[in-house]
Amino acid sequence: MTELLSIILAAGEGTRMKSSLPKVLHPVGGMPIVGHVARAARQAGSSKIALVTGPRHAEIRERVSALDPEVVHFEQSVARGTGHAASMARELFEKAEGYIAVVYGDHPLLRGENFRAVLDRLDAGLDVAILGFEPVDPTGYGRFITDGERLLAIREHKDASDEERGIGLCNACILAFRAEVFRDLIDKIDTNNAQGEYYLTDLVNLANQAGKKVGYGLAPEVDVMGVNDRRQLARAEKLFQQIRRDELMAAGVTMRDPDSVWLSWDTEIGRDVTIFPNVVFGPGVKIEDNVEIRAFCDIEDALIGEGSSIGPFARIRGGAELGPDVHLGNFVEVKKSKIGAGTKAGHLSYLGDAEIGSKTNIGAGTITCNYDGVNKDKTIIGDNVFVGSNASLVAPVKIGDGAYTASGSVITDDVPADAVAFGRARQENKLGYAPTLKERALAKKAAKGK
């Protein structure tokens, strides 16, 4: 495959988002918009990626580096247009061989196939290939001025004549060049336009003037939609969810009400998994085969083993790892815990910072008291343990294999294997004392009413 350098432009402020968060960091499917663009560039075979951001965009650089540490960062200190922004990556494109693709960073549904739509045209002999699409409403988009399959120019909407605005073929978001052509033309762009900026799209006209072969590829409108405001962000999220649901159902996942299941970009779900309505998957979830996720569960950063049953109303997070055939019932929360095969926690429990063995039963109302206000400590529970209902396990504490804890116990010391632990006060019955307590309560109520 020919070497590919992708230059992602993300220096704009995105003021229409009305947000303190840079536009390209708003998430779609749990990933920043610009992360989707970088991922698509890698899918297309980019060996190097340059990201051009503005002077106040340190957070963009940090977030993208966390997703792809090999991205090289450049800064456009003064906003002077897309052509000027692309020239900031000179350190990389001066040495580039093969192809250079310049792509806008606000297209969250972009795929590697969209890059290939123009890169394949370069493979076929073109010097420049621009990605186009045919929107339902072309208002605001740059128009392709063509002669058959030849692309003569891209006319920005503000600079287009009424006749040119009637053209339905529009500029999308990827401009691809042979590296030597890009280097030869990038510094020849001028500011002779309505905005007084260096337009990247002027490279098309310059390439034609230089006698280069210029054409275009096409992409579906959905793939190349940009995000400029909150309404477009919501639409992008909706489309992303529809795409991911369809992919997973085609791969063998059952969704009882697909429209109510929300997924992340990296959600992995095995075959014969059934997902009930109103389930949300945050980033970092892997679910193995034959799992059942019942209604109203919220799961992120978790592994759920084969044959497990989760919910309804369960929350699993923080690096939780569930082995095969685990059952977590209603209103059970698991955080940063490992749970062994066949273990059950059926009702109303919090299991945080814990290691729990296999075939253990966690009674209703059990909590691991993992936080002392400063530190978080671990609770270790062995195999075949029976933890009685309404137990408080005060970490750090260990409960050995085969042990029992009595219902209502507060366990503060380690419990040896096969032992029974009682951590509660001994019951005392005061015969005939109930009427006295009731009289006191009635008297207190009457006093309040005076």
Report pLDDT for 420. Answer: 95
Beta-bridge partners for 279: 261
Quick one: which of 434, 390, 387, 426 has its CA closest to 408?
390
Cβ atoms 297, 314 nearer than 8 A? yes
- The residue whose two tokens read 């310059």 is 206
Quick one: which of 170, 173, 179 has its CA closest to 151?
170
Cβ atoms 256, 277 nearer than 8 A? yes
Does the annotation mark 57 as catalytic? no
Q: CA-to-CA distance for 161 and 361, rounded, in angstroms?
A: 74
Beta-bridge partners for 381: 356, 399
Q: Which of helix, strand or coil describes residue 50? A: strand
What's the CATH architecture for 230-421?
3 Solenoid (2.160)
Q: Which of helix, strand or coil describes residue 367? A: strand
Strands 31-32 and 27-28: antiparallel
| CA angle centred on 111, ends 158 and 220, rounded to 5° | 55
Q: Which of helix, strand or coil describes residue 249? A: helix
Sign for the CA dihedral angle at 224, 226, 232, 238 comes to: positive
CATH 2.160.10.10-classified regions of the chain: 230-421
Report pLDDT for 320. Answer: 98
CA dihedral 126, 129, 134, 140 (to 10 degrees): -140
* Averaged pLDDT, groups of 10, the chain, 450 residues long: 95 92 97 98 98 96 97 95 96 97 98 98 98 94 94 90 94 97 96 86 95 98 96 98 98 98 98 98 98 98 98 98 98 98 97 98 97 93 97 97 96 96 89 92 86
Q: CA-to-CA distance for 35 and 29, rounded, in angstroms?
A: 11
Amino acid 33 reads I
- The residue whose two tokens read 């960091």 is 25
Q: Which of helix, strand or coil describes residue 340? A: coil
Question: Which is catalytic among the residues 26, 84, 157, 347?
Answer: 347
4-218, CATH topology level: Spore Coat Polysaccharide Biosynthesis Protein SpsA; Chain A (3.90.550)
CATH 3.90.550.10-classified regions of the chain: 4-218
Report pLDDT for 325. Answer: 98
